[in-house]
Amino acid sequence: MKMKTINILLVLLMTFSFAANAHGDKNKDKGLFKGVDTPAAKVVLAFHQALETGNQKQARAQLADDVTIFEGGRVERSADEYAHHHMLSDMKYLAAMKSDTLEHQVTILGNTAISASRSQTTGTHKGVERDYQGMETMVLEKQNGEWKIKHIHWSH
């Protein structure tokens, strides 16, 4: 008798689990995009747009002078260092790729903002097909009334 009750409970549990999963995608995007209309988020989006369109001046304008950028085990310690070393290669790479933002949250805490996003990038660069999810974290600081990107961490 006890085994029969356990089996019935297991069947019911599995039935409800399948029903919940069948409707699980309805609210999939709920909460994945928060704070993206804030002034700090607009700086992040302007930076992305500038990189994607090859606008070096606009990309540089979004960065704090003393920005630190972590990517692929390397560190760049200023906006000028990034502009003179790695920015142009990022622009060329992004021009060949298609990137879709899967989620993006921006939280503002006083004069500091944190942007965290995840994206799907696809395309061909230098003859190599790419298809991967990347993650980006940015810390922004309000300087003289304007949001500036103070730190970037890219990984994929």
* Terminal C-alpha separation, the chain: 53
The predicted pLDDT at position 16 comes to: 39
**Spatial distance between the Cα atoms of 38 and 5, rounded to a whole number of angstroms:** 54
* Sign, Cα dihedral of 128, 135, 153, 33: positive
* pTM, 2 dp: 0.81
pLDDT under 70: residue ranges of the chain? 1-30
Which option is the CATH number for 31-155: 3.40.50.970, 3.10.450.50, 3.40.50.300, 3.40.50.720? Answer: 3.10.450.50
For the chain, the structural domain boundaries read: 31-155
The predicted pLDDT at position 30 comes to: 67
Encode 112-128: b = buried (16+ Cβ within 10 Å), e = exposed.
Answer: ebbbebebebeeeeeee
**CA atoms within 13 A of residue 156's CA, in its CB half-sphere:** 12
Under DSSP, the state recorded for 1 is -
